[in-house]
Amino acid sequence: MAGQTIRLNRFIAQAGVCSRRKADFHIDSGDVKVNGQKVYELGVKVDPDRDRVEFQGKHIQVNSEKLYLAFYKPRHVVTTLHDPEDRPCIGDYLKKMKTRVYPVGRLDWDSEGLLILTNDGDYSERVLSPKGAVPKTYKVKISQSLTENQIGKLQRGVSIEGGGRVRVDTIRRLKPPKGDTKVGRSMSTDAQWVEVIISEGKNRQIRKMFEKLRIDVQKLQRVAIGRLKIGTLKPGELRPLNERQVRMSLQGLEEQPQRHFRKTKIQRRTRK
């Protein structure tokens, strides 16, 4: 007797391969087989209990145990599990992992900071969905001080190549971190640190927005997703997330952590 069927892209996401959006790309590219036959139709459904699904030649199955990890992506690391150009990638840090996970969203080559790794496709979609508007917080070092007029432009929105009109949710000036070169404020042309919060997350959005103002981004670090902060995590480190932290990563900054919620089973990573 056939079980409950689900869309193929959701099956791939629940197997911990990639997000549903990325799964559609792989289906369209011919990377997926169902019962030995390549499938190109995006809306096809499969029975997880009866159908055999292969991704790039490997048999994949839905994971019943969900895993959530916070990862500090270092600079000059590609946000992929494999890189055809043999550059350092996230997969290099996951070689001892028994459960297959993938990054939720991405940070570009020159950026660093908080990423969440998971095998939960539904969770990934909630974080990335424009409807959910999960805010991401960044500390950004720019080549010169912002004027009030420039701050206003970023808040009202600017048009960027490949991303349409985008805006920051909030932006504020920061004191430079300890050990950083002294930066100027107000009218000087010295570098400045700012905190930027966005909910849209278009490709290289923050860099392109500052480029529009003819300002270079010298350093970009993501420090929070929702209410989940990077904390004391160091570059290259992984940390398992508990239920409360997973919930916090889905919350807007104006929301308070929930005291009561339905329990979900979270798999913890144990050290040997």
Are 25 and 13 spatial neighbours (Cβ–Cβ below 8 Å)? Answer: no
Q: Which of 31, 108, 180, 216 is catalytic?
A: 108
Are 160 and 202 spatial neighbours (Cβ–Cβ below 8 Å)? Answer: yes
Is there a catalytic annotation at residue 108?
yes
Are 101 and 90 spatial neighbours (Cβ–Cβ below 8 Å)? Answer: no
Instruction: Please give the Cα distance from 32 to 28 (Å, whole number).
Output: 9
Are 236 and 93 spatial neighbours (Cβ–Cβ below 8 Å)? Answer: yes
Are 61 and 47 spatial neighbours (Cβ–Cβ below 8 Å)? Answer: no
In degrees and rounded to multiples of 5, residue 183 shows phi and psi of -115, 155
Give catalytic residue positions.
108
